[in-house]
Structure 1
């Protein structure tokens, strides 16, 4: 079961999408209101949705053709780094000027008990399906980073899964690790969507296939596929470190790291179309634009 938000007649509506791709309008104003309603009733969000749509009629439109917006206005988006071996290899390549055999502090992070976590975005910096992600004007090596996103409540409970694009400047991060905030955070440097899959509807989040495709002038220039099964850390482990002595707001999204990195010679250009697809969640599509 997926939950989406879409715009219709200048209003934002919440809807559920079944496995049969039928779309039902929900009464709640947003995703976290749905979660709280279920908690109050002592049932799961999945059961709450099932009860609500049981006696209603679906929309006569494909949900993918609606004017989708961010599935949740996350007050904060956090991200984990170097959680996949592929990410570690890419960070080492950046930090050593292209030496494939060199090791760096990224190896230590990959093997350490404590994961790398950083604040990635806020609601004002985050775009949804169909929106433009911006390219920094002072970077010449920028890529999307496809990631599985965890939707959390204030208790740090995983209540849903979404897709995230953690836009990154490989040259800025590679120049100096202290430049990480500038390599990661700027206007419209993050996108999430197109939907949230309820946590209880995902039997195994470590068995999801992730694909990234990039198109330039109508031609596909990048296609990479990987699995969340190669994630080194457990999801609850990442959440536990984020929650330590920290405030986790309702609707916080935690991106869990990337297992897909475009070829080292590739950099995004304005006009590129980025498609990120994860099993069961959908396809997040954004266009790159100059900041």
Structure 2
């Protein structure tokens, strides 16, 4: 069975957002076939209405002359894989995350210990679509932080009713010193210009994928050398998708295409912090590799105003 995988990109000639079916390096424009399909959410609604499984349409949608994914990437034409209105995030869903949060606060029996074992998960707002960083575009640092890390995560895309639409790769760029100073500073540690990236593709949910067999890999390059690398099997994920989405939907209205990041299990050592010029790569097979360079806070503010 061929799972459906899509990307969003800017048309190299028209300059308009496009939805494309990704098959290896080949990208078939779905927008040319159905002009309203510029975001996977509209396509998902159509397939739902027709009761068609995503995998059933893969070969039927391979029409027209394909573009090259590598060329779209080299021209920096990739967009976030879903035009999501909101990105939410989860915390302390892996043992390694609990250890790291405790190290930041240096408090025994901290709030992180309690939430790790509690029925209610930690959920927080992360970004709007306008705040998202596209694949191969730069993520930014905070000007008032001296300890910053990427947080590689499996992100899920859900409907207004909590249905699982698909999966993508996420980077929840975070300030460890600001959150460690006081957990009430979490919004400032998490929400700032250039702090969230998603991509490069959306792997559609079809009931046949097995995330528990996937591995999340993080590699950080500095001056062409590996400054840090790590990986974690998703089998170490403590919660479930249904559990997280059910709490997200409690007394909270969301839209189709909302993204929920599921937490990180990879945390660099305490002496490590991101620096301008670093390159962050997060890989989840079979979704793809999300790659972003790191820029200074000043440049991040300039780009955010454009």
TM bucket by the smaller chain? over 0.9
What TM-score do you get using the length of structure 1 for normalisation?
0.93
Q: Tell me, which stretches of 5 or more residues in structure 2 are unaligned?
A: 298-306
Aligned to 1:80: 90
**Residues 66-96 of structure 1, C-alpha deviation per residue, up to 9 Å, x if partnerless?**
1211111211100000000000000000011
Give the unaligned 5+ runs of structure 1: none
SS at match of 2:126: strand
1:199 is aligned to: 205
2:162 counterpart SS class = coil
Contact kept? 1:46, 1:201, Cα under 8 Å: no
| Equivalent in the alignment of 1:37 | 46
- Following superposition, the deviation at residue 52 of structure 1 comes to 2.7
| Partners of 2:208 and 2:171 in 1: CA distance | 20
Would you say the 8 A contact 2:8–2:38 is kept in 1?
no
1:199 positional shift: 0.8
Q: Give the strand-richer structure, 1 or 2.
A: 1
- Larger mean Cα displacement after TM superposition, 41-50 or 195-204: 41-50
Correspondence for 2:303: none
Q: Distance in 1 between matches of 2:7 and 2:265?
A: 25
Alignment of 1:1-291 (within 5 A): 1-7=4-10, 8-9=12-13, 10-18=15-23, 20-26=24-30, 27=34, 28-53=37-62, 56-59=63-66, 61=68, 63-66=69-72, 67-96=77-106, 102-200=108-206, 203-291=209-297
Query: In the superposition, relative to structure 1, how do residues 78 and 88 fare at CA in structure 2: closer, same or farther (>3 Å)?
Result: same
Distance 1:198 1:112 in 2: 30
Q: Tell me, what secondary structure is at the counterpart of 2:213?
A: coil
**By how many angstroms is 1:60 displaced?**
5.2
Helix, strand or coil: the match of 2:259? strand
Query: Mean Cα displacement is larger for which, 170-179 or 120-129?
Result: 120-129
Other-structure match for 2:301: none
- Superimposed CA distance per residue, residues 130-162 of structure 1 (whole angstroms, 9 cap, x where no aligned partner): 111110000000000000000011111111000
Structure 2 Cα separation of the partners of residues 201 and 21 of structure 1? 25
Deviation, 1:103, is: 3.6
Q: How many residues align?
A: 283
2:238 counterpart SS class: coil
Residue 43 of structure 1 and its aligned partner are, at CA, apart by 1.2
Q: Following TM superposition, by how much is the alpha carbon of 1:177 offset from its aligned partner in structure 2, in angstroms?
A: 0.5
- Partners of 2:287 and 2:9 in 1: CA distance: 16
How far apart, in 2, do the equivalents of 1:30 and 1:73 lie? 6
* 8 A contact 1:145–1:261 mirrored in 2: yes
Task: Using the TM superposition, give the Cα deviation of residue 58 of structure 1 relative to its aligned residue in structure 2, in angstroms.
Answer: 5.0
TM-score, with normalisation over the residues of structure 2? 0.89
- Alpha-carbon displacement from aligned partner over 1:39-81 (angstroms, at most 9, x marks no partner): 121212332444333xx245152x2331211111211100000
